[in-house]
Amino acid sequence: MVFEMAHLFFSSSPIERFTDRSAPDWLTSINTIKGSTMDNRWFWTDRVLKLDIGCCVHTDFHKITRVG
């Protein structure tokens, strides 16, 4: 799976590209305590990883699109 992530407010920020294995820690919550207030595993597994190619999801600051 390949994703692109664009910042919603700072258009000068580069579009980041990542895979399901190289996603940012803040998105996967790999380094957080399960069940903590910063645990976003539900969003990663239930929303991002279930995107079809060409579909997107928004966070507070980013648009994440599955491109492959």
For every one of its 68 residues, what pLDDT tens digit does the chain have, with 9 covering 90 and above?
999 999 999 888 889 999 999 999 989 998 888 888 878 889 999 999 999 999 999 999 999 999 99
Global pTM value: 0.87
Residue 55 carries which side chain, given as an amino acid letter?
C
C-beta atoms surrounding 3 within 10 Å:
22
Q: Where are the domains of the chain?
A: 2-66
The string of pLDDT tens digits covering residues 19-30 is 999 999 989 998
d(CA 61, CA 64): 10
